[in-house]
Amino acid sequence: MIGDARAQRGEVPFGDGDARRHLDVTATQMVWRDQDTICVMIRDVTARHAEAERNRHLAWHDQLTGLPNRTAFQDRLRGALAEAAVRGEVLGVAFVDVDQFKNVNDIVGHDVADRLLVDVATRLREGVRGGDVVARQGGDEFLLLLPNLGRRADAAGLAERVLAVFRSPFVVEGREIQLTASIGIAVYPDDGRDAAELVKHADMAMFQAKEAGRDGWQLYDSAMRERTARLVETRTRLTHALERGEFLLHYQPQVDLR
C-alpha cells in the first residue's frame, strides 16, 4: 500500500556535444510494504526540448537570413537606449534598403533573389563593428543598431563602411549582380528618445537618400518630417484628384516654322 507520497520533478541536461540529452526526472517519495521508498521515473524529452528551442529561435530570428528579426531588434534597441541614457552615450539606428531590388527579383527570380538577400546579410555583418547589431526589417530592408558612437558625425563613417560592402558585385550561380543601397540614420538623443521614433526617423532619412539618387546615405534632420509630410499629402491629393476626374488636359502644339 502506498501512503504519504511526495513528488519532485525537474528537467536536467545529460551528456556533451551531439550526445547531449534532456531528461525529465520525477522522484516520488513513498512508503512501500512498510519501507521508505523513492520511485524515480526518467523520460527522454530531447526532441521536445529541441522543438521548443527551434520555436524560440524562429520567434526572434528571420527565417531566411538567420538575422535577428524586427521584434528582436526592437528589444535590443530598447535595452541599448536604457544603457545609453544611464551612461550619457550616443547611439545610431540605420535603415538600409537595397535599391531597386524588386527589379532584380523580377529578372533573376525569387530563389536567386533570396540567395542574394542571404549574401547581403552576410556582407552587412562583416561590414559593421563587433558590437553592432544587424537585423532584417523585412523584404529587402535591414536595420542596424550602432551603439557607443563617440559623436553624431561618427555615424557618417559607419554609413560609408556599409555602402562599401556593396561595391563589389554579388555572384550567384555564376552570374554577377551589382547592387547598391540607400541608408538613413537617426541618432539618439538628438533625433529621438525611444525605439519607435528612432526607427521612424531613420526610415525618413533613408527615403531622402533614395530621393537624392540612391547609393548614398542621409542623416535625419527635423526638416525631413515636414518635407515627407508635404510629399505624402501631395500624392494623396493627386490620387483623389485622378479618381474624381479633376485633371484637365491642354494640348500645346509645337511647330517648327522652318
Residues classed as catalytic: 140
Q: How buried is 153 (Cβ within 10 angstroms: 0-12 exposed, 13-18 middle, 19+ buried)?
A: exposed
Query: Which of 167, 149, 166 shows the shortest CA–CA distance to 158?
Result: 149
